[in-house]
Amino acid sequence: MKNFFKLKEHETNIRTELLAGLTSFFAAVYIIVVNASILSDGGVSMEPLIIATVLASLIGCVLVALLSNAPLIIMPGMGINALFTYTIVNTMGLTFQQALAAVIVAGVLFIVVAVTPLADMLTSSIPTSLKEAITVGIGIFITFLGLQKAGLIVGDASTLVKLGDISSKEVIVFFITMILMLVLFIKDVPGSFLIGILSGTVISMLFGIVDLSSFQFSLPNFSEYKQVFLSANFSGIASISFWIATFSLTLVLVFENIGLLHGQIDGMLKQPSKRQRALNAVAFTTIICGICGTSPSVSTVEGSAGIAAGGKTGLTSIFAGFLFLISIFFIPVISLIPNSAIAPVLIIIGGLMIQNIVSINFEDFTESFPAFLTLTIIPLTFSIVDGIAFGFIAYPICKLATKKYKDVSIPMYVISAIFLIYFVLHATQI
C-alpha cells in the first residue's frame, strides 16, 4: 500500500491519509441524501437511488485513486443532478431510464474529450463569461429548489410564486436548521453540512414532522434497486431531445470538472501532472453512474476538505470510498431525513456557486448580456439547457452586431447553431 500510493514520495503516511479520507467523507456524505432526494423528483423512490449513489461514489473514489493517485472524491454531482431530473426528465420528456442512457452516452463523449486535445480546445473556445454564467445560473436554480423544498416559496396562480406559510412546522424547522448550518459552515466546522442535516432531522422529530412509529431498521432492499440498476433505455436515441440532453450533460461535465480539477490538483495539491488522469477517472465514472442508476459524477468541491486536511494521495480516496460503502447499511436511517433538513444545504451550495459572478465582465455589454440571459433563464424556466442555449445564441449575435468577429471561435458558432436548430425544431414540433 505504501509503495503503490508512494506515500514516502508524497511526504505523507497512512494515518494522515485516513484522517483526510474521514474528513472528505463527512464533508461529502450529505450528497448521498440530497442527490437521491433530487433524483426522486424524477419518479423513482429514494431507497434505490441512495444505493445507486453509494455504489457510484465507491467506484468513482477507487477509480480516481488507482488511475491518478489523487485524493479526490468522485461522486454524483450537485447541479448536474438538477439538470438530469428537472430538465431532461421533467421538462424534455425523457423517462428516467432514457435519461440514464443519455448519461452513458455522455460518459462516452466525455471520455473522447478527456483523452484527446478536445478538452483544452473546447474550454478555450467558449468565453469565460458564459462558463461562469452557467455555474451562477445553476447556483440560483439550486437555491430556488432549496427554497421550494423548505416550503418558503410556493406556487401561486396569479404571481407564479409567493411566500409560503412561515408559521408551518416545516418552515420553522427549516429556519432553525438554516441558521445552525450557516453558522457552522461560516466557522469552517468540519462536517458542517452533516451536523446540520442530522440536527435538522432531530428537530423535525421533536416537531412531529418525522414519524418514527413505523420505523424499522433493516438491511438495504436490493430488490427495489432493479428499478435503476442496468435499466438504461436507449429507445429514444433517435430523438432530438435525447441528443440535446446528451450534449448538455457533456457540456456541463466537461466545463465543471476541468474547472474543479484545476482548482484542486493545480491550485491546492500543486501536482498538475495528475490532472489529466483524474479527468479520465471522472469520465469513466460517468458511464458507471448511468449503469448504477444515478446522475453523472464530478470531482466534488467537498473533496477539497480532505486535501486541506493533509490528503496527498489516492489512499485518501480509497478510505473515503469504503466509508461510502459502509453507509449503505444505514439507508433506513438516511431515508428519514426530511426536506426541511436538506433545503439549507442546497441554498448554501447555491450561495457558493453564485460567487463566480465576479468573473463575468460586466464592463463589456456584449459579454455581460449573454451571461445575464443564461443565469436568469436557467432558474426562471426551470431548465439549465434552455438557459445555456439562450446565452450561447445571444453571444455571437452581440459580437457580430459590434463587429467583434474575432471574439467568437468557430466551435462557438457551431454550438450556437446547434442550439438554434433545437429551438426551431422544438417550435415546429418536428
The one-letter code for the residue type at 275 is R
Q: Which pLDDT belongs to residue 430? A: 42
Q: Which pLDDT belongs to residue 215? A: 67
Is residue 428's pLDDT more than 70?
no
Task: Compute the C-alpha angle 76/79/84, nearest 5°.
Answer: 75
**Average confidence (pLDDT) over 90-101:** 93
Angle between the 365-381 and 384-401 helix axes, to the nearest 10 degrees?
A: 160
Q: Which pLDDT belongs to residue 180? A: 96
Three-class secondary structure of residue 310 per DSSP: coil
Is residue 335's pLDDT more than 80?
no
Please list the alpha-helical segments (H only) found in 126-215.
Answer: 128-150, 169-186, 192-206
Reference 371, options 351, 402, 393, 355; nearest CA is: 393
pLDDT per residue over 272-283, tens digit each?
Answer: 889 889 999 999
**Average confidence (pLDDT) over 359-373:** 95
The grid coordinates listed for 218 are 433493516
Q: Does 184 or 134 have the greater pLDDT score?
A: 184
Q: What is the pTM (predicted TM-score) of this model?
A: 0.76
pLDDT per residue over 190-243, tens digit each?
Answer: 778 888 888 999 999 999 888 777 666 667 778 889 889 999 999 999 998 899
DSSP string for residues in 208-234 = T-S--TT-------TTGGGGTTT---G
